[in-house]
Structures are given as structure tokens and as C-alpha cells.
Amino acid sequence: MNKEIQEALREVVWKSIKGLYQCDRVWSAWSYGTMTEEDFSPAEDDEDLVNEMGDGILKITDKSREAEIKRLREALKGTIYYLRNGELDARRRGTCMMDILETADEILKDGNQ
């Protein structure tokens, strides 16, 4: 993944969590009544948290893209199969081309966002 994209995504995450606080203790400590304001810290100051959230978003994006590319490959395989066997009639051709075009369109849209 391009470093510029990673940095831009981390910047978005950082801005999104700015002003939020995270609990520095286990959440069950609430039940003991021992929590104070000192048990919370600004989320944007936790570089590991920002990186973790950014990397998680990238993984989801990568997985989604992998699934779309796999779907595109399958659509292409089907078309090639029908072509090789002389079975690409008008109906199959229309279905295969729609699958290919719709999947490619989704990949392009995701790449431009």
C-alpha cells in the first residue's frame, strides 16, 4: 500500500477521534468505583491506536477489493470457458458481460473514492 495513502488515512482517523478520550484501565474497574479522570487520556495522543485503526480500515478495504477482483476473475473465466467451448450464445454473452462490467465498475468506483 502506498505510504501516502496510509498517512492520509491515519490523518483522517486522527481527526475523527480528536477530542475523544480512551479508558486506560480495564473497563471492569468501573464496578469498583475507583475510576477517576486520570484513568482517561486523549485518544488522538495514542499513536498506536491511530495506526491500529488506520491499518484495520486498510485491511477491510483490501479484503473488499480482493473479493471484487476474485469475482471479476470468475466472470472472466466463465466467459473464456464458453468461448473455448463454442457455447457463448447471446444470452450467456449478455450475462457474462454484465458481470464483468458491473464488477469492474465497482472496482473503479472504490479506487476513485
Nearest alpha carbon to residue 58 among 3, 6, 12, 93:
6
pLDDT of residue 7: 85
Range from 31-45, 49-63, 84-98 that averages highest in pLDDT: 31-45
Domain that holds residue 105: 3-111
| Ranges 11-20, 24-33, 86-95: which has the least confidence | 86-95
pLDDT of residue 107: 66
Higher pLDDT, 96 or 43: 43
Q: What is the total count of domains within the chain?
A: 1
